[in-house]
């Protein structure tokens, strides 16, 4: 976490850095921005503001929703490719962050190494937003919470996450640990979120009253759940392991057989999906799937995050 103003972190790197009150306020604004958007009302809270977007990995949702979000709020976004910027080859990460801070009001960075977004944030005087790292995906988790809370109260919802304990799982764990609720994670014991993430989440859950269940049994996780979530078994950068991952995670597939244990559950997936691996077509395209609402909410949740960070910059 970098310098805080009024208990409000400068950056949006990990939800574990944010208080429940601040996250709840961002979520409430995300719901409001969605209502305004659907009524066709214009919200120009970021007029004249510019966002730099640095992506080391591919993206559809994060790129388009940040760029469209800035345009809709009256601002502008610039996409930077790593080969143009040359962090570590043309200049240091810190020098890139110091330059950008003189021109733009915020930076979104999607990197492999989580330490790089922390390095950018430490050197930048403007907010840095984590657009996904190997470790975390906090913007995704905010859209996930928006998608859940537009249907149910978080405190009364049992959310099951089944599959790889990756960046998406870690941020969902952080989100529910900060805000409260029930999360059941079914992963192979070898593929839980890293110990540092689990330890911090346990501290946050002790404070919020969140209930977190760890299991290797997908049926135990999904039984009677209100929401069942999965993500790819092979994340970006792990392609060399994809064959062994397919074998390891096969018992964790979201299919009709597993979901018979959660007859009322809505289905979440951050997308992109590897259809036929972690989720079957009939589930992803079925009547209980809310994955495109969830994708839509990336726009509204991130507009709320942008307002929270960039109006202070």
Residue nearest ligand CP by beta-carbon distance: 62
* Catalytic residue list contains 294: no
Query: 110, 184, 269, 300: which one is catalytic?
Result: 110
| 113, 271 Cβ separation under 8 angstroms | no
CB atoms within 10 A of CB 308: 19
Of 33, 109, 228, 232, the residue at the interface with ligand NVA (CB under 6 A) is: 232
Spatial CB neighbours of 165, under 8 Å, sequence gap ≥ 6:
185, 187, 191, 192, 193
Spatial CB neighbours of 63, under 8 Å, sequence gap ≥ 6:
53, 55, 79
204 binds ligand NVA (CB under 6 A): no
- The nearer residue to ligand NVA, 104 or 279, going by C-beta atoms, is 279
DSSP code per residue over 131-196? ---SS--HHHHHHHHHHHHTTS-GGG-EEEEES---HHHHHHHHHHHHH--EEEEE--GGGSSPHH
236-255 positions binding ligand NVA, by CB under 6 A: 236
User: What whole-number distance in Å separates Cα of residue 71 and Cα of residue 68?
Assistant: 5
147 binds ligand CP (CB under 6 A): no
| 146, 154 Cβ separation under 8 angstroms | no
| 167, 137 Cβ separation under 8 angstroms | yes
What are the phi and psi torsion angles at 53 (to 5°)?
A: -120, 115
47-86 positions binding ligand CP, by CB under 6 A: 59-62
Residue 302 binds which entry of ligand NVA, ligand CP, none, CB below 5-8 Å type-dependent: none
User: What whole-number distance in Å separates Cα of residue 99 and Cα of residue 90?
Assistant: 13
Residue 133 binds which entry of ligand CP, ligand NVA, none, CB below 5-8 Å type-dependent: none
231 binds ligand NVA (CB under 6 A): yes
* Catalytic residue list contains 47: no
Residue 60 binds which entry of ligand NVA, ligand CP, none, CB below 5-8 Å type-dependent: ligand CP
Query: 29, 61, 184, 298: which one is catalytic?
Result: 298
Of 111, 140, 157, 280, the residue at the interface with ligand CP (CB under 6 A) is: 140
129 binds ligand NVA (CB under 6 A): no
Rg for the chain, CA atoms, rounded: 19
107 binds ligand NVA (CB under 6 A): no
DSSP annotation of 255 reads -
Of 174, 235, 253, 302, the residue at the interface with ligand NVA (CB under 6 A) is: 235
- The nearer residue to ligand NVA, 33 or 132, going by C-beta atoms, is 132
139-168 positions binding ligand NVA, by CB under 6 A: 166-168
Rounded least distance, CB 24 to ligand NVA, Å? 24
* Footprint on this chain of ligand CP (rule: CB under 6 A): 59-62, 132, 140, 270-272
* Footprint on this chain of ligand NVA (rule: CB under 6 A): 132, 166-168, 231-232, 235-236, 270
């Amino acid at each position: 976490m970098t310098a805080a103003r009024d208990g409000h972190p400068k950056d949006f790197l990990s939800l574990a850095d944010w208080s429940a009150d601040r996250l709840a306020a961002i979520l409430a604004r995300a719901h409001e921005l969605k209502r305004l958007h659907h009524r066709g009302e214009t919200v120009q809270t970021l007029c004249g503001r510019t966002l730099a977007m640095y992506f080391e990995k591919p993206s559809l949702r994060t790129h388009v929703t940040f760029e469209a979000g800035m345009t809709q709020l009256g601002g502008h976004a610039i996409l930077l490719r790593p080969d143009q910027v040359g962090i570590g080859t043309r200049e240091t990460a810190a020098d890139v962050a110091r330059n950008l801070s003189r021109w733009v009001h915020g930076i979104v960075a999607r990197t492999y190494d989580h330490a790089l977004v922390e390095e950018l944030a430490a050197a930048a005087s403007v907010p840095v937003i984590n657009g996904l790292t190997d470790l975390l995906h906090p913007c995704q988790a905010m859209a996930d919470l928006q998608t859940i809370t537009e249907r149910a109260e978080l405190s009364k919802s049992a959310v099951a996450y089944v599959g790889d304990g990756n960046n998406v799982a870690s941020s969902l764990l952080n989100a529910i640990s900060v805000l409260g609720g029930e999360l059941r994670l079914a992963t192979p014991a070898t593929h839980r979120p890293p110990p540092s993430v689990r330890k911090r989440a346990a501290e946050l859950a002790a404070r919020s009253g969140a209930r977190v269940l760890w299991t290797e049994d997908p049926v135990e996780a999904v039984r009677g759940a209100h929401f069942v979530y999965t993500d790819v078994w092979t994340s970006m950068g792990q392609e060399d392991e994809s064959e062994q991952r397919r074998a390891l995670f096969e018992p964790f597939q979201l299919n009709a057989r597993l979901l018979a244990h959660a007859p009322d559950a809505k289905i979440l997936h951050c997308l992109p999906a590897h259809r036929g691996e972690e989720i079957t077509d009939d589930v992803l395209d079925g009547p209980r799937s809310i994955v495109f609402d969830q994708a839509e909410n990336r726009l509204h949740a991130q507009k709320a995050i942008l307002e929270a960070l960039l109006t202070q910059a």
